[in-house]
Amino acid sequence: MAQVLQPFANFYQQVDYPDLITGLEQPDDAAVWKLDDDRALVVTTDFFTPVVDNPYDYGSIAAANSLSDIYAMGAKPFLALNIAAIPNDLPKEMVSEILRGGMEKAREAGVVIAGGHTIQDKEPKYGLIALGFAHPEKLMVKGGMRECDVLLLSKPLGTGVITTALKKEIAHKEHLQTAIASMQELNAKAGALALELNAHGATDITGFGLLGHAWEMAKASGCGIRLRMDAIPLLPGAEEYAKKGTFAGGAFDNQAFYSPHVEFDDIPEYKQMLLFDPQTSGGLLVSVDEETYKNFNPKSGLSEVFTEIGRVIPGEKILVR
Ligand code: CO
Ligand code: CO
Domain locations in the chain?
Answer: 2-134, 143-320
Q: Determine the topology of domain 2-134 in CATH.
A: 60s Ribosomal Protein L30; Chain: A; (3.30.1330)
Residue 42 Cα to ligand 1 midpoint, Å, equals: 13
**pLDDT band for position 89 (cuts 50, 70, 90):** very high
Residue 230 DSSP code: G
Residue 69 Cα to ligand 1 midpoint, Å, equals: 6
| Statement: residue 48 has pLDDT above 60 | yes
pLDDT in tens, 56-76: 999 999 999 999 999 999 999
Residue 120 Cα to ligand 2 midpoint, Å, equals: 27
Count helices and strands in the chain by DSSP H and E runs: 12, 13
Q: What pLDDT is recorded for position 298?
A: 80
* Whole-angstrom distance, CA of residue 2 vs CA of residue 287: 21
Q: What pLDDT is recorded for position 63?
A: 98
Distances (CA, A) of 12 to 4, 6, 8, 224, 270: 15, 11, 7, 31, 43
Averaged pLDDT, 213-231 = 97
Q: Determine the topology of domain 143-320 in CATH.
A: Phosphoribosyl-aminoimidazole Synthetase; Chain A, domain 2 (3.90.650)
Residue 202 Cα to ligand 2 midpoint, Å, equals: 9
**pLDDT band for position 13 (cuts 50, 70, 90):** low
The ligand placed nearest to the CA atom of residue 62 is: 1
Q: What pLDDT is recorded for position 320?
A: 98
